[in-house]
Structure 1
Amino acid sequence: MSLDYAWIAFALAIFPAALGAINLRLVRGPQGAVPDGALVSILIPARDEATNIEGCLAAALAQQGVAIEVVVMDDGSTDGTPDIVRRIAAADPRVRLVEAPALPEGWSGKMHACARLAEAARGTHFLFIDADVRLEPRAAAALSGHMARQRLGLVSGVPRQVMLTWGEGVTVPMINLLLVGYLPGGGRAFTRHPGFAAGCGQMMMFERGAYEAVGGHGALRTTLHDGLKFARLLRARGHRTEIVEGSGVATCRMYRDFAEAWRGFLKNAREGMATPVGLPVWTVVLAGAHLWPFFLLPAWQAAIALAMVFGLRMAITRRAREPSWTILLHPVAVLVALAIQWTALVRFLMGRKEGWKGRAYAAPEAT
């Protein structure tokens, strides 16, 4: 019987290892010439981002190769964020500060801020970034050029994730693992089907016409997971979307410790894996490939399964330019990811609301 279990673990490990090897060859950095007349609006929703906003703006204003404007939406900050933006805007006319109206009923905070940002934008391309993202100097040019070359409505990528604490190391790397190891095509446009679409909410560039044609952020006003939902919406409406390798385009430090990372991933888990139907399947798929083989050693099938998943993790870490020390924490990262998802599902079934940035949100209906 234990031999049968070892073969199952072996089979569960082959899938992400093989798919990951394919996706690592398919997904590359953005390439293409900037279209004539392009103006990239770099749009930044900010709520209590005093520690981040100045560095974010400095990187945004250092863009080369394409005309830009930078619009910051202050969403009820209490920590001096708007004062910092006003000071920078006084010295550089490319920067504008706008104030978010009161949050209407039925909207999540970030979606409302992004919708109002799009209304204020003048560009041909909308590049939404979080305040903790630092764009590389040619990021806007590269993304807009790639969008034109591939005829995309949306291009997105996962920035290089900066991790300095163990709490970040056992949470953040799962983003790229799931994207590379479990999404057929890795988000490339040729896959076409909405179910194979993905995006990263930290950095998303839209072609203005495509964004407006689907209703912008107003079409997804309740979501907390716009990276995933927007890519699927655009594909469902006939627009092409694509993931590019983002580690050379931008950097981001999402969280500072384990508690912050736990809360951050918990808030949107219900719109990802944490559904009553999906989570049991994901638990078998992830635990079966990445954790179960440890308990089946010394069976050779289990040893090879572990070699495959650790090899995949090493390859992803190298490509994404993540810290190599996080590889040793890989089994813990998988366990923590499943714990976050199950916690989110249980909290939903108990009627609990998730909170972020001082706001509480009802989770989406169970599916």
Structure 2
Amino acid sequence: MTPSQRTLLWVYAAIIAMWPIRHLAIWFIFRKLDILTPDSPRLTMDHPPLVTAIIPAKDEEGTLAECLASVCAQAYPNLEIIVVDDRSTDRTGQIAREFATADPRIEVLTIEHLPPGWTGKTHAAQQAADRARGDWFWFLDADTRHSPENLEIVMEYARDRGAALTSLLPEMRCETFWENVVQPLAGIVLMQSYPLFRVNNDRSSLAFANGQYILIKRSAYEAAGGHHAVRDRFVEDIRLAARVKALGLPIRVAIAREIGSTRMYASLDQLVRGWSRILYDALGRNPWRLLGRLLDPLIFSQTGHVAFVVALFLLARGHTSPFAFWLLGLSVVHHIFTYTVLARVYHMSVPRSRYVAWFPVANLVMDVILIRAIKMCLTGRVTWRGTAYGPTVTSSTRPVTKPVSPN
């Protein structure tokens, strides 16, 4: 074995050594997670505060009905619901109005134009918040579903923790091959920058919230400037949480188990475009941070696949030197450590996931997502849900809101 081969093996061994450390890190992080289940305590009081559920919806005809049905079925007794039909071109508004006719707690707002300087979601959320009467605002994405006890459990969790803002990470509903393969890994890439044990630590300045599910006190929302203060952000949830925490108010993020779920994206194209947008903004629109996330799997994961293939190639060509056997052995150890770590993380986001073996494919898709996000940093241009956003927004039309009577 040549000196250069020995050096290469030692470097590779050092890369592999990071995976046992990651096992320990995951064990430590998982121990500190707050997990809410149907058996978690529920808020019980004679006069619970009014909660306003706010659901921005743009072209959500495929998901809105199930979301609204689950919100209307909440056991929590003091609830009003505002649905914002944000420039939809499908049956979203019709579905919302049908529910409003059947349930007097529901009000529908219709937005026809997006003003300059806002993203569609932040504008819709702010319009609804301006009309809301609740002491708490419950911001939900239209692709979420919630068990009947959900709000009672999260309200009690917020009360017990003294949290001004509480957010959930729902279970992912993955129905297609690409969802099952890519969604868990994309979530891992995001949460590497926002470990929840630090987010939930009042002494840490790190803040995070998941915009699919945010429960926030009205007073905290207004003190933080509401969505107006984060109007140009694509991950307004994280920025809003940061503003709340900067006020010295506690925030908490918990994992949902069997009390809430979401289906974010249904196709590979949606996954690539959606996660590119999320990571672009979540990592501060900073190409260097995104490059770091790109290099991490290239160095610590994909080297295992390369080493395995190279070792097999050398042995197939008759190179039976110790180097080839050591390289093969180390690559097998590398794969064992990698897949056991990933199995634990995949199962956290998608319980009983059977797609960990497709991790190499997911890695390649994530490479594309991160490269696309880096390109967004360089151009400043993002297109999402039919709206093009650039360094400056050219639209100058004033927003129009139309409250629709539930009767």
TM-score, length of structure 1 as denominator length: 0.90
Q: Are residue 8 (structure 1) and residue 17 (structure 2) matched?
A: no
Amino acid in the other structure paired with 1:356: W
Instruction: For residue 226 of structure 1, report the CA deviation from its aligned partner.
Output: 2.0
Amino acid in the other structure paired with 1:256: A
Instruction: For residue 181 of structure 1, report the CA deviation from its aligned partner.
Output: 5.5
Instruction: For residue 75 of structure 1, report the CA deviation from its aligned partner.
Output: 0.8
What is residue 100 of structure 2 aligned with on the other side? 89
Q: Are residue 46 (structure 1) and residue 51 (structure 2) matched?
A: no
CA distance in 2 between counterparts of 1:192 and 1:102 reads 41
| Per-residue Cα deviation, 1:39-62 (whole angstroms, up to 9, x for no partner) | 221110011111211111101111
What is residue 241 of structure 2 aligned with on the other side? 231
Q: 1:266 aligns with which of 276, 293, 305?
A: 276
TM-score, length of structure 2 as denominator length: 0.82
Q: Are residue 189 (structure 1) and residue 200 (structure 2) matched?
A: yes
Instruction: For residue 199 of structure 1, report the CA deviation from its aligned partner.
Output: 1.9
CA distance in 2 between counterparts of 1:335 and 1:281 reads 15
Structure 1, unaligned stretches of length 5 or more?
Answer: none
Change in Cα spacing, 1:235 to 1:11, as seen in structure 2 (3 Å) is: farther
Give secondary structure in 1 for the equivalent of 2:182. Answer: coil
CA distance in 1 between counterparts of 2:328 and 2:143 reads 45
Q: 1:126 aligns with which of 137, 151, 168?
A: 137
Q: Is the 8 A contact 2:74 2:148 kept in 1?
A: yes
Instruction: For residue 185 of structure 1, report the CA deviation from its aligned partner.
Output: 4.2
CA distance in 2 between counterparts of 1:241 and 1:86 reads 34
What is residue 241 of structure 1 aligned with on the other side? 251
Q: For 1:64-75, list aligned pairs within 5 A.
A: 64-75=75-86
Q: Is the 8 A contact 2:190 2:279 kept in 1?
A: no
CA distance in 1 between counterparts of 2:203 and 2:170 reads 23
Deviates more, 1:289-298 or 1:120-129: 289-298
Q: Is the 8 A contact 1:193 1:235 kept in 2?
A: no
Q: For 1:339-350, list aligned pairs within 5 A.
A: 339-349=368-378
Output the aligned Cα RMSD.
2.4
CA distance in 1 between counterparts of 2:247 and 2:386 reads 34
What is residue 154 of structure 1 aligned with on the other side? 165
Instruction: For residue 5 of structure 1, report the CA deviation from its aligned partner.
Output: 2.3
What is residue 31 of structure 2 aligned with on the other side? 25
What is residue 213 of structure 2 aligned with on the other side? 203
Amino acid in the other structure paired with 2:268: F
Change in Cα spacing, 1:76 to 1:317, as seen in structure 2 (3 Å) is: same
Amino acid in the other structure paired with 2:305: F
Change in Cα spacing, 1:339 to 1:172, as seen in structure 2 (3 Å) is: same
What is residue 225 of structure 2 aligned with on the other side? 215
CA distance in 1 between counterparts of 2:160 and 2:30 reads 21
Instruction: For residue 187 of structure 1, report the CA deviation from its aligned partner.
Output: 5.2
Instruction: For residue 290 of structure 1, report the CA deviation from its aligned partner.
Output: 2.4
Structure 2, unaligned stretches of length 5 or more?
Answer: 1-6, 309-326, 393-407
CA distance in 2 between counterparts of 1:342 and 1:67 reads 46
CA distance in 2 between counterparts of 1:257 and 1:318 reads 21
Q: For 1:82-121, list aligned pairs within 5 A.
A: 82-100=93-111, 102-121=113-132
CA distance in 1 between counterparts of 2:328 and 2:102 reads 66
Change in Cα spacing, 1:352 to 1:123, as seen in structure 2 (3 Å) is: closer
Give secondary structure in 2 for the equivalent of 1:238. Answer: coil
CA distance in 2 between counterparts of 1:260 and 1:199 reads 22
Deviates more, 1:184-193 or 1:219-228: 184-193
Aligned-residue sequence identity (percent) comes to 26
What is residue 73 of structure 2 aligned with on the other side? 62
| Per-residue Cα deviation, 1:312-359 (whole angstroms, up to 9, x for no partner) | 22223333344522212222223322321112212442x362111110
Deviates more, 1:262-271 or 1:296-305: 296-305
Q: Are residue 357 (structure 1) and residue 385 (structure 2) matched?
A: yes
Amino acid in the other structure paired with 2:387: R
Instruction: For residue 304 of structure 1, report the CA deviation from its aligned partner.
Output: 3.9
Q: For 1:244-259, list aligned pairs within 5 A.
A: 244-259=254-269
Q: Is the 8 A contact 2:42 2:156 kept in 1?
A: yes
Q: How many residues align?
A: 362
| Per-residue Cα deviation, 1:218-266 (whole angstroms, up to 9, x for no partner) | 1100000123222222222212112101233311111111011111112
If you compute each CA radius of gyration, which structure gives the higher value, 1 or 2?
2
Instruction: For residue 158 of structure 1, report the CA deviation from its aligned partner.
Output: 1.7
Change in Cα spacing, 1:17 to 1:85, as seen in structure 2 (3 Å) is: same
Give secondary structure in 2 for the equivalent of 1:106. Answer: coil
What is residue 286 of structure 1 aligned with on the other side? 297
CA distance in 2 between counterparts of 1:11 and 1:236 reads 37
Amino acid in the other structure paired with 1:4: W
Change in Cα spacing, 1:322 to 1:287, as seen in structure 2 (3 Å) is: farther
CA distance in 2 between counterparts of 1:320 and 1:352 reads 31
Give secondary structure in 1 for the equivalent of 2:118. Answer: coil
What is residue 365 of structure 2 aligned with on the other side? 336
Instruction: For residue 173 of structure 1, report the CA deviation from its aligned partner.
Output: 0.9
Amino acid in the other structure paired with 1:359: T
Amino acid in the other structure paired with 2:388: A
Q: For 1:171-186, list aligned pairs within 5 A.
A: 171-178=182-189, 183-186=194-197
Give secondary structure in 1 for the equivalent of 2:116. Answer: coil
